[in-house]
């Protein structure tokens, strides 16, 4: 009984939230003008989702074996306790902070890279010195790079061709 009532409350609540996302609709709900879900949930569903067209960044570190991808790592893997350990989210935050700090200091050179592979793009970029004091929790020292790339459009994915989208590269020297 309680389970059914709970499901009913969620369904009705979802109906009102969905209706508020549609500005002009032929559908009218009871108390539609009285209950303004935009006042309670101003972002609507956007709070729970991200844009699929948002560019994504990968972070690289130079090791003895060459340049290796160090993040962001998936949060749902067993080594991260299937999402309970939140360090995967902090990796993306630290990486974005590095790029933002470099662009604020106007030292960042977002090197456009279209025809080269990722490692060649990183090698072509000039390095920016960064003080590690703000980034102690990340644990990366030395040469670090960020490669930002737009996702492949849906129409191109179904073509079956190996499409490499243009990238922007920023390279850092994180002083330890």
Confidence (pLDDT) at 88: 65
Spatial distance between the Cα atoms of 73 and 141, rounded to a whole number of angstroms: 18
Residue 135 has pLDDT above 60, yes or no: no
Cα separation of 174 and 52, whole Å? 31
Q: What's the rounded Cα separation, in Å, for the pair 37 and 122?
A: 47
- Output 40 or 166, whichever has higher pLDDT: 166
35 has a pLDDT exceeding 70: no
Out of 14-28, 60-74, 86-100, 136-150, the most confident range is 60-74
Rounded to an integer, what distance in angstroms lies between the CA atom of residue 163 and that of residue 20?
39
Question: What's the pLDDT score for residue 73?
Answer: 64
Q: Output the pLDDT for position 7.
A: 92
- Token pair belonging to 9: 């409350």
pLDDT per residue over 61-78, tens digit each?
Answer: 999 999 998 876 666 677
Residue 105 has pLDDT above 80, yes or no: no
């Amino acid at each position: 009984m309680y389970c059914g009532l709970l499901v009913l409350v969620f369904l009705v609540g979802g109906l009102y939230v969905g209706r508020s996302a549609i500005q002009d609709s032929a559908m009218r709900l009871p108390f539609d003008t009285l209950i303004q879900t935009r006042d309670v949930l101003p972002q609507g569903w956007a709070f729970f989702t991200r844009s699929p067209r948002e560019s994504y960044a990968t972070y690289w570190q130079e090791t003895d074996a060459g340049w290796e991808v160090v993040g962001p790592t998936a949060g749902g893997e067993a080594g991260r306790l299937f999402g309970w350990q939140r360090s995967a989210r902090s990796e993306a935050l630290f990486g974005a902070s590095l790029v933002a700090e470099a662009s604020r200091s106007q030292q960042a050179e977002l090197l456009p890279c279209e025809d080269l592979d990722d490692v060649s793009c990183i090698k072509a970029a000039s390095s920016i010195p960064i003080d590690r004091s703000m980034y102690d929790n990340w644990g990366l020292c030395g040469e670090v790079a960020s490669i930002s790339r737009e996702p492949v459009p849906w129409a191109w994915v179904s073509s079956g061709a190996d499409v490499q989208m243009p990238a922007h590269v920023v390279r850092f020297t994180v002083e330890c």
